[in-house]
Amino acid sequence: MKITMLFIGCILLHTVTASSKTWECRILPPEHRTEIDARSGAEIIFVTTHPAHDRNLYFHDRCFLQDDRMMLFISDRYDRSEIMAYLLETGELVRLNRPQDAPAGRPLASIAGDKLYVMRQDTVLQWQVSLSTHPRTRVRVSETPLAVLPDSAVQVSGLAENSDASLLAFAYQKAGFHFIDVLDLSSGTVRNAAKLDYAMNHVQFHWTRPDLLSFSRTYASDRAPMDADEPLHARFWFLNVNTHVPVPAFYQDPGELATHECWWLHDQITFIGGHNSDGNKEDGHVKVYDLKTGEIRIIGAGAWWQDGNASQVARVNWWHAAGSPDGRWVAADNWHGVIALFDAKTTAQRILTTGHRIYGQGAHLHVGWDLKGERVEFTSNKRGNPDVCIGLVPKEW
């Protein structure tokens, strides 16, 4: 593969001379198991039950392809980390990567058709997926290289597609700076959106504004220093890709926690925040930030009491949160493997499922959503090793 690059002002032009390649994917038989959560009555599908470590995508990365036909996940069952998929119609699993190729990573399902974006080494790739289940299941991937990182660059963050599927953002570190670039998916040109003199991660586009993204600034801690004389501390920032000027969402008070932000509907961002901590013991409320007004409200309350130990306090506080695409719910998980849904109108809490992690042990759940707001997806440690799960929201809720 040969990709040439030419810098013109702040625009990086990529000429991709390699042609696409296409392959048939290996189809694996279903291994899913279903149980009914004893507390909520919700149906919980263990998508994977293999002894390997299988895990869902990071909670703000889109993992369902169009129409919820296919869900992406990561597995090490081939002695390396690979992108795989679960077919919701048949329960079959798909090995998407060709065995002879280096493994691709950083997957992101597109909002436009049956395709996803991945990274292999220093190259951004599009995987167009062709799926049929009759008379037998066949999955074919056509790979097209789209862009390449500059020499000596190291990728940070995952990929991010904007709301009208016209841009794909990626970020990297080079020569002591962090860069956010955007690829125009129609022309193939790449331009720089920001050059930062501090570390960053978690690039995400706004759900409806195609020019606006957010990113997180990386500090030693997501909790602001207690010393008020320390520099101002802001976990998440906004960036219009056309103006190139990062703007902090808000500056945290001394000792205030802000972490795990995720875009939602109506110019809102969910995140975890709190004001109390003592070593590993801290409160974590599910909060919603309104971009239009700058107001912050609690939609999923945690709790704090001085006499509780870290494990006890963690049972009723939260660590990741994501809003459903239909606007009805915000889902949250915690260190004890509990998943709760909070009603977006009333903030009423419903426990969806429990027992998917032991405090201090196991993969994080990283709870996210399908495309309709009917299913939450997460990683469970309930069977002794990480498995990918889907929890169905009870219809009577």
Q: Is residue 176 part of a domain?
A: yes
String of b and e for 342-352 (b: at least 16 CB within 10 Å)? bebeeeeebeb
Q: Is residue 14 part of a domain?
A: no
| pLDDT tens profile 23-59 | 999 999 999 999 999 999 999 999 999 999 999 999 9
Q: Tell whether the model's pLDDT for residue 8 goes beyond 60.
A: no
Asked if residues 287 and 299 have their Cβ atoms less than 8 Å apart, the reply is yes
Distances (CA, A) of 309 to 77, 271, 281, 314, 316: 37, 24, 7, 9, 12
Distance of alpha carbon 307 from alpha carbon 134, whole angstroms: 60
| pLDDT tens profile 161-216 | 999 999 999 999 999 999 999 999 999 999 999 999 999 999 999 999 999 999 99
Residue of 11, 18, 19 whose CA lies nearest to 189: 11
Q: Is residue 318 part of a domain?
A: yes
Distance of alpha carbon 136 from alpha carbon 133, whole angstroms: 5
Q: Say what percent of the chain tops pLDDT 90.
A: 94
| pLDDT tens profile 125-145 | 999 999 999 999 999 999 999
Q: Which domain holds residue 321?
A: 26-392
Question: At 323, which CATH number?
Answer: 2.130.10.10
Distance of alpha carbon 60 from alpha carbon 43, whole angstroms: 23
Residue that is written with structure tokens 């020019």 in the block? 211
Q: Is residue 17 part of a domain?
A: no
Asked if residues 25 and 139 have their Cβ atoms less than 8 Å apart, the reply is yes
Q: Is residue 66 part of a domain?
A: yes
Its pTM stands at 0.94
Q: Tell whether the model's pLDDT for residue 12 goes beyond 60.
A: no
Q: Is residue 8 part of a domain?
A: no
Distances (CA, A) of 22 to 43, 57, 88, 141, 165: 37, 24, 23, 6, 23
Q: Is residue 397 part of a domain?
A: no
Instruction: Please give the tally of structural domains in the chain.
Output: 1
Q: Is residue 32 part of a domain?
A: yes
Name the helix (H) or strand (E) containing 312: helix 310-314
